[in-house]
Amino acid sequence: MINAVSMPEEIREAVSPFLDMNYEKLVLDAEKMKSIYGGDIPIVPPDQYFPVYVQAETGCSWNKCTFCRLYRDRTYGVRSLEDFSKHLHSIKEFFGKGLAARRSVFMGDANAVNIDQKVLLQMLDMIQSEFNLPIFSFVDAISTQKKKSEIHFQEMREHGLKRVYIGLESGDPSILRIFNKLMNVSEAINLVNKIKGSGINVGIILMAGAGGKKLYRNHIDNTASVISQMDLGKGDIIYISPMYEYEDTEYYNVAQDLGILSSDEKLKQIDELKAKIREEFQDFNGKPLECPIAPYDLMEAVY
Ligand code: SF4
């Protein structure tokens, strides 16, 4: 049996930070991490668990979706290049050798690709030069469609951006209105196709239970119809999470009238959404959808 004393030197050196850990040190570590990010690290998509998380911006510039409380307590702001450089250095110092275990950079918070293009490209270059890892980010379909062109996305790809994730939640216009997601579905389709045209992959995030019992069928049918019009293929991914109706959100009262689905009903809707999306995509495009549709739980994330 290998113990810390008999381990080869290079292995002992690699694992020594973990052997030295105790509860107090973990608490101190967590506090230091929170001070770097101004609080807990927000959610990231499942294929991006365990990233190097960097904040080009803090919070969400919209922050008005009725069901969402992700960034409610975080003031929105874009970091200056100088501040961003310091931020990256503090992350590098904090993770130290642990960086070697990370395989990607997630650029947050809610919609960092919307940052002024010149500044954004410099930020992407800074990330690449510090970490030399592929870069991923969220995009909101509310404002980005109007602000960024396909050329802008091509530039982002040339500067290291690999995939962006869009919280579509539903393809049903009335649900999007209830959520106060001020976009129309054709804008969301255009945005995805523009991003795909640039060579960047996309992740589409949907929520089972959106629209409750009253809009159950509309949610499935209209979401499948919208997805079928997106140029999705290999390298893209669709995620479906059960929705959480929080009492302290505006959506909660509306959800009472709509009828909240039970956990089992939400899981059933995930299966129905998956089947309908594949069927509709095949019918609309005359070919199968080649990207995975994966269930996940937006309450979970691993850093
Ligand atoms: S759902 Fe997305 S766009 Fe809407 S408030 Fe939350 S983070 Fe912002």
Structure confidence at residue 5 as a pLDDT band (50, 70, 90): low
- CB of 60 sitting under 6 A from ligand 1: yes
Select 47-295's CATH number: 3.50.50.60, 3.60.150.10, 1.20.120.80, 3.20.20.70: 3.20.20.70
Task: Name the burial class of residue 288, with classes exposed (0-12), middle (13-18) and buried (19+) by CB atoms within 10 angstroms of its CB.
Answer: exposed
| pLDDT at position 182 | 85
- CB of 251 sitting under 6 A from ligand 1: no
Q: How far apart are CA 294 and CA 216, in angstroms?
A: 20
Structure confidence at residue 87 as a pLDDT band (50, 70, 90): very high
- Which amino acid residue places its CA nearest to atom 8 of ligand 1? 63
Please give the distance, rounded to the nearest whole angstrom, from the Cα atom of residue 63 to the centre of ligand 1: 5
Structure confidence at residue 298 as a pLDDT band (50, 70, 90): confident
The mean pLDDT of 247-259, rounded to a whole number, is: 95
| pLDDT at position 302 | 63
- CB of 63 sitting under 6 A from ligand 1: yes
The mean pLDDT of 91-98, rounded to a whole number, is: 91
Q: How far apart are CA 135 and CA 232, in angstroms?
A: 20
| pLDDT mean across residues, the chain | 92
User: What are the tens digits of pLDDT across the range 97-145?
Assistant: 889 999 999 999 999 999 999 999 999 999 999 999 999 999 988 889 8
- CB of 68 sitting under 6 A from ligand 1: yes
The mean pLDDT of 179-203, rounded to a whole number, is: 95
Structure confidence at residue 17 as a pLDDT band (50, 70, 90): low
Please give the distance, rounded to the nearest whole angstrom, from the Cα atom of residue 207 to the centre of ligand 1: 13
* Residue 298 or residue 61, greater confidence: 61
Task: Name the burial class of residue 146, with classes exposed (0-12), middle (13-18) and buried (19+) by CB atoms within 10 angstroms of its CB.
Answer: exposed
Other residues' Cβ atoms within 10 Å of the Cβ of residue 278? 17
* The pair of three-digit structure tokens given for residue 102, joined into one six-digit string: 């990370």
Q: Residue ranges of the domains in the chain?
A: 47-295
Please give the distance, rounded to the nearest whole angstrom, from the Cα atom of residue 3 to the centre of ligand 1: 48
pLDDT above 50 for 1: no
User: What are the tens digits of pLDDT across the range 156-174?
Assistant: 999 999 999 999 999 999 9
The mean pLDDT of 284-288, rounded to a whole number, is: 98
* The pair of three-digit structure tokens given for residue 265, joined into one six-digit string: 């009903």
